[in-house]
Amino acid sequence: MADRASDMRQDFPILAREHRGRPLVYLDNAATTQKPQVVIDAIAEYYAQHNANVHRAAHILAEEATQLMEEARDLAQGFVHAAHREEIVFTRGTTEAVNLVANILAAELSHEDEILITEMEHHSNIVPWQMLAQRTGASLLAVKVLPNGDLDLEDFQNKLSEKTKVFTCNHVSNALGTVNPVQDLVAHARAVGAYTLIDGAQASLHEHIDVQALGCDFYALSGHKMFAPTGIGVLYGRLGLLESLPPWHGGGEMIEHVTIETSTYQKPPFKYEAGTPNIAGAVGLGAAIKYLNELPLDDLIAQEQQLVANTLSALKQLPGLRLVGEPKQRTAVISFLLEDAHPHDVGTLLDQQGVALRTGHHCTMPLMQALGIPGTVRASFSLYSTQTDADHLLAAVDKATTFL
């Protein structure tokens, strides 16, 4: 197969950078991805030619800015395969999307209800539910994770009940790369009448996302993890729910009519987009989705899968290396430990050799507690990662073991 990842790298100026006299090996893509020139250009062009506030003034710039932002909404709708453009709410990212959902569901919960999450959630899909539980008196339960990094599906069945009012989990784990069987989980949760939210932050580049096929009520993603800028994300919400649930933030843009005493609200999605939105961010997200739409995504994902599989086999050969999590299905994340070395020390040694990756708890402290470890060293790949990146990683890890 032609090396499409290498071709793609030409589109990302930062990937040509050097660090410590060698090409930068960027394997921290689960934290954030790099940006292609088309996204950088779209943001610059927006500010240079079209900047204005949206949905308000009747002048040409406002018209153009509004059009660009609404085009981005259409592109996002296509990306997640939502049935209606009104189901696409722009947020700052996954974290804000989860907080939005947790807040608009508050009136639906009482002290008799349960919120079901999992032990492998990112803190952004734990803390908002703790806050909701404290506010409503509902109980918070978490599905256990098996030692190999898969969800314990028996525990899921045991904990899911008529009391479950909300079920949420990630599509892909940022710490272990586990791909969760979200379609099945959602079907079971909906059968007991629970609202369902899928955290798609780590799935958006590596999995095909079809919210209608998944059947979930809400799906959240972050633009910066899929080649778009920081500060922009998408919350998909089922239209009927966005129509019937209350707004969260109040302010300009989300209202229809305001008196001193009361207000009426816009229809979705604007009901959930109070204040001046991140217009440039939305434009950048639109450009990133357009860029993705033009890529041979299936081939690139297959190539990435192969690269991850090869790297896993090679890592396993290194003495003293322990993989953390060997889930049945994984995407582009590999977590490991070296002997008894602290992950931070390993990270420093790898950085000294020009390999950029992440160490620590990856904002998943409960998962680390469940696995009985303080953290991991995490290499996370993207569609532009190549065998050269993997070779550098393997050589650097091999060398690090000699220092430890």
Q: Which residues are tagged catalytic?
A: 363
With binding defined as CB under 6 A, does residue 86 bind ligand PLP?
A: no
Contact with ligand PLP (CB under 6 A): which of 35, 50, 122, 238? 122
Which range, of 66-74, 118-126, 271-279, 288-296, touches ligand PLP by CB under 6 A?
A: 118-126
Q: How far is the CB of 223 from ligand PLP (least distance, A)?
A: 8
* Minimum distance, C-beta of residue 91 to ligand PLP, in the bound complex (Å): 8
Cα 189 to Cα 51, 145, 214, 240, 360, distances in angstroms: 44, 18, 12, 18, 32
List the interface residues with ligand PLP, window 292-321 (CB under 6 A). none
Q: Check binding of 118 to ligand PLP (CB under 6 A).
A: no
Which of the residues 222 through 261 are near ligand PLP (CB under 6 A)? Answer: 222
Count the Cβ atoms, other than its own, within 10 Å of residue 16: 10
- Three-state SS for 289-317 is HHHHHCCCHHHHHHHHHHHHHHHHHHHHC
Please report whether residue 284 would count as binding ligand PLP according to CB under 6 A.
no
34, 99, 103, 202: residue in contact with ligand PLP (rule CB under 6 A)? 202
Cβ proximity to ligand PLP, 159 vs 206, nearer residue: 206
| Of residues 25 and 333, the one with the C-beta less far from ligand PLP | 333
Helix count (H) and strand count (E) of the chain? 14, 17
Q: Which of 87, 199, 273, 304 binds ligand PLP (CB under 6 A)?
A: 199
Q: What is the largest CA-CA distance in the chain?
A: 71
Hunting for tokens 């079971």 — which residue is that? 188
d(CA 224, CA 24): 19
201 binds ligand PLP (CB under 6 A): yes
> Residue holding tokens 């949206």?
54
Task: Please tell me whether residue 124 binds ligand PLP under the rule CB under 6 A.
Answer: yes
Using CB atoms within 10 Å of the CB of residue 318, give its burial: 0 to 12 exposed, 13 to 18 middle, 19+ buried.
middle
Tell which phi-psi region holds residue 142, choosing left (phi > 0), alpha (psi between -120 and 50) or beta: beta
Q: Is 94 in the site for ligand PLP (CB under 6 A)?
A: yes
Tell me: does residue 168 bind ligand PLP (CB under 6 A).
no
Residue 384 in tokens: 């532009």
Q: Interacting stretch for ligand PLP, rule CB under 6 A, among 93-101, 246-254, 308-316, 390-398? A: 93-101
Query: Residue 359, interface with ligand PLP (CB under 6 A)?
Result: no
3-state secondary structure of 400: helix
Angle at alpha carbon of residue 366, lines to 94 and 318, rounded to 5°: 95
List interacting residues with ligand PLP (CB under 6 A).
Answer: 30, 93-95, 122, 124-125, 170, 174, 199, 201-202, 222
